[in-house]
Amino acid sequence: MTTSTSTSTPAADAMFEVRKLNKSFDQQQWVLDDIDLKLLRGKTTVILGPSGSGKSTLLRCLNLLEEVDSGAIWFDGREITKEGPRGHLLRREISMVFQHYELFPHLSVLENLMIAPIKVLGVARERALEQAMELLAKVRIREKADAYPEQLSGGQQQRVAIARALMMNPKAILFDEPTSALDPEMVKEVLDVMVELAGSGITCVVVTHELGFARRAADRVVLMEGGRIVEESAKEHFFSDQASERTQRFLQQMSH
Amino acid sequence: MSESLHLVLEYLLSPSFFNAALTTLALTVVSMLIGMLIGLPLALLQERRSVFVRLPVLLYLWLFRGTPVLLQIVFVFNVLPLFGVVLSGFASGVLALALNEGAYMAEIFRSGIQAVSPRQRLAGRALGMSSAQVMRLVVLPQALRTVVPPTGNQFMGMLKSSALVSVIAVQDLLLIADQTASANFRYIEALSAAAIYYLIFTTLFMVIQGYIERWVAPRRSSGRRSWSQRLISLTSAQPRSSQ
């Protein structure tokens, strides 16, 4: 059930615009409670919050991997919550990077990168191969092109997953806790790639616990708690003493 | 004793035993292949949410797993002609064995599909794949790995179940051995010759299964294994874990 709460078109600078979004599990527990949010085109937004605050669920609503109860989501000027069963067409334009990488174990690194462009977008094999090698170089793992996922470390797998997401030439990339499953010594190599990406002008939405990444690469920061948005502001404001009391308390807890 | 061995050898090389062995092999392979062709769509249909799709499938599984395969063979051979469908003994045997096998293969495919992590499907969907593409490109290739060993078991089981068609007068290995023995009461020799054929076929199936398992195993780019490792993997029932 999706009901459009407003017929007005979204602001031109918004890649995503979320209006009065509600989601519950079994009509009981509200996971997302009346979310209003604008994610700016070409900017990097980091979503922070304690576990269970609904941030990963919100992220999966943005590419319709989760169904919503009510409210509207606009993407690139159109209301995607109305598109329903054609969600897989939308997801050609929005890529996603997962906590546990989710590379396909039966395919080599190169095949992992090439399968969706070839099978979903209909890109020619030679063109896909060329782009794959470029992207593997960009995430600094070109020498592993013929390896299989299980032969790679977690950090390497996640960098391949980022390259796989970029293969679709998406308008936006969603990161779902991309460093939470990594050994500490591998976090940096993945974050470095993400920082470069954030600076490249693609719209990034990053759910993470890495305050350091937010400080380095975010344009805007969102704090969620209990399915609601507690604060949404520019990075400089978020990390200053002008941020809300709740935000400052959260940041204090995180730094312990 | 040497006379016995001589007789076994004579049976083994006789045209009647050889033809019977071919009949048994053909029954097994054809029934298994059709059974797999029936089983895969049944497994995919069970993935659907709709009760109207799943209920007929459950009915099929209940019917064919719930009654003896011998009954199904006799039923096909004796009841279908009443409705004007007259099949040869061999065709009746294949039809009954394949329908029965389809029910078991459906369950094997279903368990293989369910063994693939839901997060893998999510990753496929996030890349813009349709449900059918997720199944074909992501889930089924991975399910294959879990499906091969139980399918190998089914092949061996089918080889032996195929002996049941002797009740509808198909000239398979068991029937020929039994007929030969009842002519001169040399049961040991005739049955031994049949047993040797069965063992040759099961050995063949094991070797083929070993090759297929290695083919679908998690790949490594530097994947060359010694002969001793190959022999070990041939004799172990489960695919070797990939550490």
In degrees and rounded to multiples of 5, residue A64 shows phi and psi of 60, 25
**Residue A219: band (very low, low, confident or very high) from pLDDT cuts 50, 70, 90:** very high
According to DSSP, residue A182 is labeled: S
B242/A150 CB distance under 8 A: yes
Q: Give the Cα separation of B220 and B225 in Å (integer).
A: 11
Cα-only R_g, chain B: 21
The pLDDT value given to residue B168 = 94
Map residue B43 onto helix, strand or coil.
helix
Smallest CA–CA distance from A144 into chain B, residue: B221
* Alpha-carbon gap, residue B29 to B37, rounded angstroms: 12
Give me the half-sphere count of Cα atoms (radius 13 Å) on the Cβ side of residue B26. 13
pLDDT in tens, A165-175: 999 999 999 99
Which chain A residue lies closest to B119 (C-alpha atoms)? A102
List the 147-206 stretch of A: residues with Cβ below 8 A of B.
Answer: 147-148, 150-151, 164, 168
pLDDT-based confidence at A7, cuts 50/70/90? low
Q: Parse chain B into domains and list their residue ranges.
A: 2-194
What per-residue confidence (pLDDT) applies to A27?
67
Whether ipTM tops 0.95, in short, is: no
Give the Cα separation of B219 and B242 in Å (integer).
Answer: 9
* H or E segment to which residue A78 belongs: strand A78-79
Burial class of residue A129 (count of CB atoms within 10 Å of its CB; 0-12, 13-18, 19+): middle
Question: Averaged over A50-72, what is the pLDDT?
Answer: 92
AA identity, residue A110 = L
Distance CA B82, CA B91 (A): 16
Higher pLDDT, A72 or B224: A72
Q: Do B125 and A91 touch (CB under 8 A)?
A: yes
Which DSSP symbol is given to A118? I
Query: Which contiguous run of DSSP H or E holds residue A73?
Result: strand A70-75
- The C-alpha angle A232, A237, A238, rounded to 5 degrees, equals 55
Q: Write out the two tokens for B127.
A: 């890349």
Mean pLDDT by 10 residues, chain B (243 residues): 88 95 97 97 92 94 96 95 93 97 97 96 96 95 94 95 94 94 92 96 95 81 47 46 37
Q: What distance in Å separates residue B132's CA from the closest CA in chain A?
A: 11
Q: Is the dihedral of CA A21, A56, A136, A107 positive or negative?
A: negative
User: Average of pLDDT values for A214-219?
Assistant: 92
Residues 6+ apart with CB under 8 A from B174: B163, B166, B194
Please give the C-alpha separations between residue B122 and each of A64, A205, A244, B127, in angstroms, as whole numbers: 11, 18, 36, 9
Which of A89, A150, A168 is nearest residue B127 as measured by Cβ atoms? A168
Architecture, CATH, for domain B2-194: Orthogonal Bundle (1.10)
The two structure tokens encoding residue A3: 């009901």
Structural contact between residues A193 and A162, judged by C-beta atoms closer than 8 angstroms: yes
Where do the domains of chain A lie?
A: 103-169
Exposure string for B12-45, b = 16+ CB within 10 A, e = fewer: beeeebeebbebbbebbbbbbebbbebbbebbbb
